Amino acid sequence: VAKPFEVPGVIATILRCTPVRYRRELEPTLDAPTNATAPGFVPEAIDPHSLDMPKGMTYWREEPVYKRYLAQFARRYCSSVEKLEAQIAKHDFVQACADMHRMSGAAASLAMPNLTRIAAQIAEGLRQGLEISGLLADLRLILQKTLDDVADYLAQGEAVDGGSVVETNTDAAASLQ
């Protein structure tokens, strides 16, 4: 199964490949309730090509967990373009490729389609020994837009007790801490 994958699609594929006598044992578990929740508030300014929160919630199921990993991603990858440029300057293409592959996987698991695509293109270009300097400017722009959208999403307060806002952090940089 290629990553990222949609869980319902994988389950459907498994069921199609499962002999009928076993399929009946598996099907009731598919109807079991899940604790999945939709994102509480999706700011209009967030581009779903940068951060597809509804899709991310299908992966992570709980908004606080999803937000925690988004914040971790932002901390880990905020200076990745500069790191990549330094690796290329040192001709450390193997490490640069590995880092871009890792970023692509992390972005895919957090539902960041544009970042997944550009990081995978750079990783493949590095793997094939191609010139990727033209992609670095795209990576810088896409990463910044994605991190801005993550910060906007994380800055939103968590609603409880019928919609009252418990906490709203308007400092996007602080929300990534």
Contact 126, 102 (CB under 8 A): no
Mean pLDDT of the chain: 80
Backbone phi and psi for residue 32, each to the nearest 5 degrees, phi listed first: -65, 140
Q: What is the C-alpha end-to-end distance of the chain, expressed in Å?
A: 34
Q: If we measure between CA atoms, which residue out of 79, 60, 81, 18 comes closest to residue 153?
A: 60
**Residue 95: pLDDT over 90:** yes
d(CA 61, CA 111): 13
For residue 58, what are the contacts with CB-CB under 8 A and spacing of at least 6?
A: 6, 7, 36
Q: If we measure between CA atoms, which residue out of 57, 34, 48 comes closest to residue 145?
A: 48
d(CA 76, CA 10): 30
Query: pTM (2 decimals)?
Result: 0.69
Tens digit of each residue's pLDDT (9 = 90 or more) over 53-66: 999 998 888 999 99
Q: Which of 74-83, 89-98, 105-114, 152-161 shows the lowest mean pLDDT across its residues? A: 152-161
How many other C-beta atoms are found inside a 10 Å radius of the C-beta of residue 21?
7
In single-letter form, the type of residue at position 172 comes to A
Work out the average pLDDT over 67-93: 97
Backbone phi and psi for residue 55, each to the nearest 5 degrees, phi listed first: -65, -40
What confidence tier does 3 reach under pLDDT thresholds 50, 70, 90? Answer: low
Residue-level pLDDT at 166:
30
**Residue 159: pLDDT over 50:** no
Work out the average pLDDT over 145-166: 67
In single-letter form, the type of residue at position 146 comes to T
Residue-level pLDDT at 109:
94
d(CA 27, CA 74): 39
More confident residue, 9 or 57: 57
